[in-house]
Amino acid sequence: MTSDTKNGRVVTGRFQPARWLRNPHAQTMLPSMPFAWRSRPPLRRETLELPDGDVTAVDWLAASDALPDSAPLLVILHGLEGSAESSYARMLLEAAYERGWKSCVLHFRDCGDYTNRLPRRYHAGETNDLRHFLNSLQGHREACGNAGPLLASGFSLGGNVLLKYLGESKNDTPLASAVAISVPLDLHICAEALDTGFSRVYRRHLLKRMKNAIRGKFDEHTAAFNWQRAMQAPTFAEFDDAVTAPLHGFAGKQDYYDRCSAKHFLRDIERPTLVINALDDPFMTPEVVPPEAALSPDVLIEVSESGGHVGFVSGGLPWRPEFYLPGRILEFLEPHAAVSGQ
């Protein structure tokens, strides 16, 4: 994949980085800095009971409760160890509200400031919780006050979950349209990319958070996996082989990555879907971008030269940056916000 692809369903993205922020690691890290997006809109927490007896959390933008029942509803899926407090989620919640849309963040199990019940967490291929939530919204539209079109956006791991769900569901989904950002379309490639160069800094940071999270749920006597191996895992691949796979019913990391990489589901998507990735994303390599033959006619992939991982800082000033993603996400979804997902 090169950046000069200009026609078809894999195209060059329009994003241009801020003149003062062209480095991919700076693009990746700046949005998470406290000063980059100071706004913390009030949220309303809702507990979502799941069919297997577990529970997760949905955070709704409180201000959007006053919008008409017919307003579009944007469901946001966060990334690895993220939550509704992640800067990309907060800025998209607010951008959707400014457009007159309702919005919420569906948390993956054991993410955010709550604890799920069952001895498990989440993974890149867990689509049942999203399916249950969307079907619940669709089945109780009048009672829930959400009768407008349903739309979705997923970031990083959340983008992988969203694309896999769309491919599995084909035409059987209440979603009218979707956007996925910085998606690890091939989990094998992405795990390897995080073992090289400066990307190992992200790997160490995220692995530390993941290990702390499982310490909060298990100990060496209650874990349904090899505790010592999990705590000593130096890479994502080894952690997934030691923890993610056995905890969620996979034979190992190879089985997990093979069955859950979103690239295998792109051909079956039947809703207008945009994928935005950057060639300099330190969480992956350009090889994750699939050929057009692997895509359904409803999938468009925009690949930018730069942007980092869920960065896409387009301008402003270092202490008051401007971001490309909220506007581009809503721009793509807008034509589908006036139609039902039926």
SS3 assignment, position 274? strand
pLDDT at 341: 39
Count of Cβ atoms closer than 10 Å to residue 221 Cβ: 6
Closest listed residue to residue 175, CA positions, set 191, 185, 189, 161: 161
| Residue 123 reports pLDDT greater than 80 | yes
Q: Residue 140: pLDDT band by 50, 70, 90 thresholds? A: confident
Q: Is the Cβ–Cβ distance between 269 and 278 less than 8 Å? A: no
Alpha-carbon span 212 to 62, nearest angstrom: 30
Closest listed residue to residue 29, CA positions, set 17, 41, 21: 21
Q: Which two tokens stand for residue 194?
A: 């995080």
Provide, rounded to the nearest whole percent, the portion of the chain with pLDDT above 70.
96
pLDDT (tens digit per residue) in 34-43:
999 989 999 9
Alpha-carbon span 77 to 123, nearest angstrom: 13
pLDDT at 7: 53
The catalytic residues are: 156, 281, 309
| Residue 160 reports pLDDT greater than 50 | yes
State how far Cα 244 lies from the chain centre.
Answer: 18
pLDDT (tens digit per residue) in 11-50:
999 999 999 999 999 999 999 999 999 899 999 999 999 9
pLDDT (tens digit per residue) in 171-196:
999 999 999 999 999 999 999 999 99
Q: Residue 3: pLDDT band by 50, 70, 90 thresholds? A: very low
pLDDT at 1: 38
Q: Which residues contact 21 (CB under 8 A, 6 or more apart)?
A: 27, 30, 313, 318, 321
| Residue 263 reports pLDDT greater than 90 | yes
Q: Which two tokens stand for residue 110?
A: 């054991």
